[in-house]
Amino acid sequence: MHATSTPLFRPVTRIVRGMPASDGAGVRMLRVIGQPQLPNLDPFLMLDAFGSDRADDYIAGFPDHPHRGFETVTYMLAGRMRHRDSQGNSGDLGPGSVQWMTAGRGIVHSEMPLQESGRMAGFQLWVNLPARDKMCAPRYQDIPADRVPVVAGSGLVVKVLAGRYAAADGPVSTVATDPGYLDATLEAGARFDHAIAPGHTAFAYVFEGEVGFGDAATPVRATHLAVLGPGERVGAVGGPDGGRFILVSGRPLGEPIVQYGPFVMNTAAEIRQAIDDFQAGRF
Ligand code: FE
């Protein structure tokens, strides 16, 4: 191989293990992006993976809290949550549903479990907004499971939450960073092959079994995130007992990030403004 050639399949450049964490009023989860080993992965600011059969791990939920300057994306695998915000919007998130919330200039909301027992599992991803969109009007895209296309292939099933896979378009629209978000389940040895725009950031988070990525089929086990470097396509192969992962991609912003908890802006002055606005009830 020529030293300067681009590999066919994006190589694994880093593997990061999700770190046990607690957030909201005491919800236990794995923090994958937004922890010391991986503070962010432009344009992604945070990825939490939650999954438990024990109500104690999730029952406290996420009471009222603000957001400004980015988007929160909740993808439910199991269980039910209810979302309510300061402007009177509310919605229920069930298994397989997606909520893509563009916080923009600010919302105050709660995310609380609608169950007192049973399994609760899913992901919350934070996607940054470019400076020009940070103060946009808040917007919700609440997508029930039956609007998420499912593409079945040889030994694989792919759900398309955002972006395009094969000929299927995900239901999320008009997002600044042109994101892709797939949920892929591979049987042992099954092959996955998908093009992502060159220059876009891409990562895979494996949450069941094991999956190999890149020309070298670098193995990545459940609870681990693989950063995928430059390459023409994303190639994956199911491990010995198969595997399941989310594949997330987006255009990096290359802008300064100044974060104070749930406020993510470009300058310290904008953070002070966010705190003032929140304390004055202007969200
Ligand atoms: Fe929130």
Q: What is the pLDDT of residues 29-84, one digit of tens each?
A: 999 999 999 999 999 999 999 999 999 999 999 999 999 999 999 999 999 999 99
Question: How far is the centre of ligand 1, averaged over its atoms, from the C-alpha of 264 (Å)?
Answer: 13
* Average pLDDT score over residue span 14-30: 95
Separation of CA 146 from chain center: 19
Amino acid at 4: T
Question: How far is the centre of ligand 1, averaged over its atoms, from the C-alpha of 66 (Å)?
Answer: 7
Q: With respect to residue 3, please indicate whether it lies within any of the assigned structural domains.
A: no
CATH code of the domain in which 157 resides? 2.60.120.10
Quick one: which of 69, 67, 51, 22 has its CA closest to 255?
69
Q: With respect to residue 250, please indicate whether it lies within any of the assigned structural domains.
A: yes
Q: With respect to residue 173, please indicate whether it lies within any of the assigned structural domains.
A: yes
HSE-CB for 245 with a 13 A CA cutoff: 32
Confidence of residue 4 (pLDDT cuts 50, 70, 90): low
pTM to 2 decimals?
Answer: 0.96
Q: With respect to residue 6, please indicate whether it lies within any of the assigned structural domains.
A: no
Q: With respect to residue 149, please indicate whether it lies within any of the assigned structural domains.
A: yes
Question: How far is the centre of ligand 1, averaged over its atoms, from the C-alpha of 209 (Å)?
Answer: 29
* Average pLDDT score over residue span 125-134: 98
CA separation (Å) from 125 to 73, 101, 128?
Answer: 5, 10, 10
Q: With respect to residue 257, please indicate whether it lies within any of the assigned structural domains.
A: yes
| Contact criterion met (CB below 8 Å) for 210 and 186 | no
Question: How far is the centre of ligand 1, averaged over its atoms, from the C-alpha of 65 (Å)?
Answer: 6
Q: With respect to residue 156, please indicate whether it lies within any of the assigned structural domains.
A: yes
pLDDT at position 1: 46
Range of the domain at 230: 12-279
Question: How far is the centre of ligand 1, averaged over its atoms, from the C-alpha of 230 (Å)?
Answer: 32
pLDDT at position 7: 83
Q: With respect to residue 89, please indicate whether it lies within any of the assigned structural domains.
A: yes
Separation of CA 94 from chain center: 17
Number of helices and strands (H, E) in the chain?
1, 24
The reply to whether omega before 43 is within 30° of 0 (cis) is yes
Question: How far is the centre of ligand 1, averaged over its atoms, from the C-alpha of 248 (Å)?
Answer: 20
How many separate domains does the chain show? Answer: 1
Confidence of residue 86 (pLDDT cuts 50, 70, 90): confident
* Average pLDDT score over residue span 211-219: 96
